[in-house]
Structures are given as C-alpha cells and as structure tokens.
Amino acid sequence: MGADVELDVLSLNAWFGEKQALKNINIQIPRRTVTAVIGPSGCGKSTFIRCMNRMHELIPGARVAGKVLLGGEDIYTEMDAMDVRRKVGMVFQKPNPFPNMSVEDNVVAGLKLSGGYKKGELGRIAEKNLRAVGLWDEVKDELKKSGASLSGGQQQRLCIARALAMEPEVILMDEPTSALDPASTAKIEELVQKLKAYATIIIITHNVQQAARVSDMTCFFYLGEVVEFDNTKALFEAPKNPLTERYITGRFG
Amino acid sequence: MGLLSRKAHDKAARGLCLLITLSAISPLIWIVASIIANGASAISWEFVTSLPKPFGEGGGGIGHAILGTFIINALASVWGIPAGILTGMYLSEYDRSSRLGSAVRVAVESLAGVPSLIFGIFAFSLIVLAVRHYTALAAAFALGLMMIPLVAKATEESMKVVSDDIREAAIALGIPKWSRTIKIVLSIARGGVLSGSLLAFARISGETAPLLFTALFSYFWPTSLDQPMATLQVVIYNYALSGFDDWILKAWGASLLLMLLVLSINIAVRVSTRQKYAEGA
C-alpha cells in the first residue's frame, strides 16, 4: 500500500483502567477516502477514533499501546500530542461551537489560539472554510453574531469548518448527525462526500444506512475488535463474517 | 380533610411565611431608612469634596476619606482579584481531584470564614510593625487577601459549569492548555467572574476592622500610598463615637455614601448577570 495509506494502525490496544476497550486493532485507512466505523454501543468505536488524535489518553487511568502511523510517523512516539490534533481534526456528536466567539472567530479559533497564523489572512480563511461547508451564504451577514446563535445543523457545519480551517490530514467525526434533524443530516452527509477532496474522513455512525451512503470503506467493530474492514460495497453486499451480516441487517446491536 | 380546610391551611402557611419574611427584612428597612433620614442632610458639595475643618469650626467634609476608600479598594482589587481568579482557575482547570487541590480548596474556604479583624492584625504584624508606621499599602494587602476566597470561589464555580464538550473541542483543535483555559473557558465564565469580583469589592467596602490596624486615619488628602489614609469606614467609626453633633451628622453622611457605593455595586452585579443570561452563554 505504502503512499496510499493515510493512517496505519498496528497492534493498537487501549484500556480504561483495567478494562480493555480495544484489542489488537490492525487496519490501514486509505488516503482521501471516507471510512465509516460501525458497531453496537460500547464496542470501542469512540475509543478507536479518540486514539487517532490522542484524546483517549486524556481520560484518567486510560492507556494506549501499539502504533498509529500518520504519513509514516508514529503519532505516539514521534509526534507531539498538540501537533497530532492539529493534523487530525475532530467533529463531535453534539455541535460545540465556542459560545464566547463570533461565527467568524469560531472558524479560525484553532489557528488564532494555537499560534502560527498570518493576521491579515484570518478573514479570508474564515470565508473559504465557511464556503467549503456551504454555510457562507447563510451566515455572511451574521459573521459577528455568537456561534451559539445558529441552528443545530448550522452549528455542526460551523464545527466542521473550524476543523477544516486547520488544514488537517484527517477529520474524525463521532456520530456528527445523531443530534440533528433529517434535513441537516442530509446536508452533513452531502458535505462528507465533498470533504474527501480535502482530508481523509473517519466517521462513526449508528445508522448503518448512513455508513452505506457516505463511505468508501467500512469498519465493523464488535467487543473491542475489528470484525471486518473492507470497502463499503463489498462489506454490505457480501459480508464475510456472519456477525457483520447480522449487524447490518439489523438483527442485533 | 376537606377542601376548605386545605385552602385555609395554605393561606395560613403563606401568611406565616410573609410575616417571618417581613420581620427578617424590617431591620434592614429600618437601617436604610434611618441612614437616609439622618445622612441626607449632611450631604453637600462641600461634604464630598473638602477636608475636615479644624475642630470647633463648622462645615468641611470628608472628600479625603472618599478618595481614600477608592484608592485602598482599587489597590486591594489590583492584586486580590487576579490572585483570586488564578486560584479559581487552578482549582477548576488544573487540579480538580488531587490532594494538593483539596488542600487549596479547604484553605480557600477557611480563608473565607476568617474574621476580618484577623486579616487586619495579620497585615499589622507583617507590614506595619516592619515599616514602623501605619500605611495604606498594608490596608490594601489585608483587604486584597479578603477578596481572594470570594473571587476564587466564584471563578471556580463559573468555570466548572462550562461544558466539557467545549473543552474537548478546544483540545481537538490542538490549542495549548493555558490558551484554552484563558481564551475559552475563562472567557465563557467571565460573567460569573465579574459578578464575584464586584461582590468581593462590595464586601471589602464595608470592612472597618482591618483598616484600623493598617491605614488608620488621616485628616489630609492622600499624598503617598505608604502613609496613613482616611477611609469612609474609619470616618464612620471615629465620628460616630465622638459625641459631637456635627461629627455624628458627618458619620451619618459617610454611612449614606458607603451604602450608596455598595448598592450601586450590587446593581452593577445584577445588570452584568442579567446580560450574561441574555447572551445564553
């Protein structure tokens, strides 16, 4: 695979105290694709993506072992955690714009507060990323209003623009539509397709149909292990593992 | 039990609550009314802008004490509020559960319960005895110390209620901890921090005991921070006990001014917190 692999996960294990949440995960996530992560609640999906930006280790008692190579570099031993998070962005389940900042400042918050930006460029960067998430026309007259004043769906797109502004290699999405109405969900799904042009996307979803709609690759987790990882079409049309088949047809989970 | 009887019980309970509430606030109303009744006639342009006249002469004012109260309160705030904010920030963001954190928390809570006189004696023995004269700086030290627990508690509480979702968003952007603590969490909590700071300011505006041991009193305009300085509180203390009608009247006037100062701070707190909720943050 080599150059085509964005994230190379090797023998990844993760714990919460004594409880092992991830067991020997080995997967290669191809560059500029959308990978859906599916599986029943508590199967380790969130833990897995939080190991990709080193947020799992922030929980007291949490531990990680194994390697995660981002562009060939191990994010645990060869990179600083802050640098990892600038290269691996994240969008959360509940939209969480900074309520103390305007719409515009929200987009560039990461650039502004982690230093290393060109002052005159922030306005242009904000516009570019708001356009990229299709929010510009809706908010261009309200750029100075609080980020918390937008609707839920708009807030979530604002959070995506905020992640995008860092020009990350990877964007992690932890059930980004589960708090949204169907119309906003459709917009985010459409957006995820477009975002492939900018970054590699890993998206957790509880909605199997959503995984089928938005992803190129699908990874099915069960009890902390990867049961099946394949391209989405193959996984949905001809699952190799009977567990996968039962999960995607809604017979458990 | 019949309906009528239940309604009667309800009425009786309400009446009792109202009666007790009234009896609780009536001393306050009494104090406020007598301060206004006795103090209003003392207030004049001369009263708030000029120095006391030599004893026996009429007229004169307490302008130096008004200025002194503002100077000492400002100096106390300049160090007490930042120290309190940093303490609250430490407790909320850096050390929620360790042994050191709980020790600091207990210390802050005990500090809040220490009688103000003790702060005065502490500043007296630490500073006044060392420099061998009464000084406004010692007063600012004592009052600043009293502000710390109030500001720290308000800061800690209002930073703690900032949702962890917001902290995670900042972490995921790779924003360094000090930056996300100040520019995001503290900034979101600023309404609570501001009202806590104003309340602490109001609280020290009423303290007399620490001033008697530190700034003491003066009959002149403040010329140096390292000298005794008059304050409204000590004017009230000195003049009210004097037994001269003119001075007692001036003590009432000083009380009215002090009450108006505290009242306006409390109104400022109300307004600032109302704005906070209106923003929805």
Amino acid at B32: V
Cα–Cα distance, A200 to A33 (Å, whole number): 5
Alpha-carbon Rg for chain A, nearest whole angstrom, is 18
**Which of A55, A57, A96, A150 would best serve as a mutation to test chain B binding (most B beta carbons within 10 A)?**
A96
Residues of A in contact with B168 (CB under 8 A): 55, 92, 96
Residues 6+ apart with CB under 8 A from A33: A196, A200, A201, A215, A216, A217
CB spacing of B183 vs A90 below 8 angstroms: no
Give the pair of three-digit tokens for residue B216: 């003491």
Identify the CA nearest to B209 among candidates B241, B242, B233, B243: B233
Phi and psi at B65, nearest 5°, equal: -75, -35
- By the 8 A CB rule, do A244 and A230 touch? no
Give chain A's end-to-end CA distance (angstroms, integer). Answer: 33
Q: What percent of chain A has pLDDT over 90?
A: 88
Q: A-side interface with B, Cβ within 8 Å?
A: 53, 55, 58, 82-86, 89-90, 92, 94, 96-100, 109-110, 113-114, 146, 148-149, 159, 162-163, 166
- Nearest CB neighbour to B165, from listed A92, A146, A162: A92
CB spacing of A113 vs B180 below 8 angstroms: yes
Give the pair of three-digit tokens for residue B45: 């342009």
**Which of B173, B179, B193 would best serve as a mutation to test chain A binding (most A beta carbons within 10 A)?**
B173
pLDDT score of B270? 84
- Nearest CB neighbour to A109, from listed B173, B190, B279: B173
pLDDT score of B57? 78
Q: Identify how many contiguous H helices and E strands chain A contains and give both numbers.
A: 10, 10
Residues of B in contact with A110 (CB under 8 A): 173-175
CB spacing of B171 vs A85 below 8 angstroms: yes
Going A181 to A186 to A189 to A190, the CA torsion angle's sign is: negative
H or E segment and range at residue B36: helix B3-39
Global pTM value: 0.86
Question: Could you tell me where the DSSP H helices lie in chain A?
Answer: 45-52, 81-87, 103-113, 122-132, 136-139, 152-164, 182-195, 208-214, 232-237, 242-248
- Nearest CB neighbour to B172, from listed A85, A99, A146: A85
- Nearest CB neighbour to B281, from listed A86, A89, A99: A99
pLDDT score of B3? 73
Distance from CA of A147 to the nearest CA of B (A): 11
CB spacing of A82 vs B174 below 8 angstroms: yes
Cα–Cα distance, A159 to A91 (Å, whole number): 6
**Partner residues linked to A202 by β-bridges:** A35, A172
pLDDT score of B274? 72
What ipTM did this prediction achieve? Answer: 0.92
| Chain A residue closest in CA terms to B176 | A114
CATH architecture of the region B46-279: Orthogonal Bundle (1.10)
Distance from CA of B193 to the nearest CA of A (A): 14
Residues 6+ apart with CB under 8 A from A155: A95, A96, A97, A147, A148
- Nearest CB neighbour to B187, from listed A53, A100, A159: A100
Residues of B in contact with A57 (CB under 8 A): none
Question: How would you class B115 by CB atoms within 10 Å of its CB: exposed for 0-12, middle for 13-18, buried for 19 or more?
Answer: exposed
CB spacing of A55 vs B172 below 8 angstroms: yes
Cα–Cα distance, A215 to A199 (Å, whole number): 13
A-to-B residue pairs, Cβ atoms closer than 8 angstroms: 78
Cα–Cα distance, B197 to A130 (Å, whole number): 38
Going B43 to B49 to B55 to B57, the CA torsion angle's sign is: negative
Neighbours of A179 (CB within 10 A): 16
**pLDDT tier at A2 (50, 70, 90 boundaries)?**
very low
H or E segment and range at residue B92: none
- By the 8 A CB rule, do A110 and B174 touch? yes
Q: What are the pLDDT digits (tens) for A86-119?
A: 999 999 999 999 999 999 999 999 999 987 677 7
Neighbours of B74 (CB within 10 A): 11
- Nearest CB neighbour to A92, from listed B168, B174, B281: B168
Residues of A in contact with B179 (CB under 8 A): 113-114
Residues of B in contact with A55 (CB under 8 A): 168, 171-172
Domains for chain A: give ranges and CATH numbers: 2-95+169-248 (3.40.50.300)
Cα–Cα distance, A84 to A56 (Å, whole number): 13
Give the pair of three-digit tokens for residue A110: 């990461």
CB spacing of A55 vs B173 below 8 angstroms: no
Alpha-carbon Rg for chain B, nearest whole angstrom, is 23
A186 has pLDDT over 80 = yes
Q: B-side interface with A, Cβ within 8 Å?
A: 163, 165-166, 168-176, 179-180, 183-184, 187-188, 190, 279-281
Cα B104 → chain centroid: 22
Going B197 to B198 to B201 to B202, the CA torsion angle's sign is: negative
Give chain B's end-to-end CA distance (angstroms, integer). Answer: 48
Tens-of-pLDDT digits for all 281 residues of chain B? 577 788 899 999 999 999 999 999 999 999 999 999 999 999 999 999 999 888 777 788 899 999 999 999 999 999 999 999 999 999 999 988 888 989 999 999 999 999 999 999 999 999 999 999 999 999 999 999 999 999 999 999 999 999 999 999 999 999 999 999 999 999 999 989 999 999 999 999 989 999 999 999 988 899 999 999 999 999 999 999 988 888 999 999 999 999 999 999 889 888 877 765 444 43
**Partner residues linked to A14 by β-bridges:** A22, A64
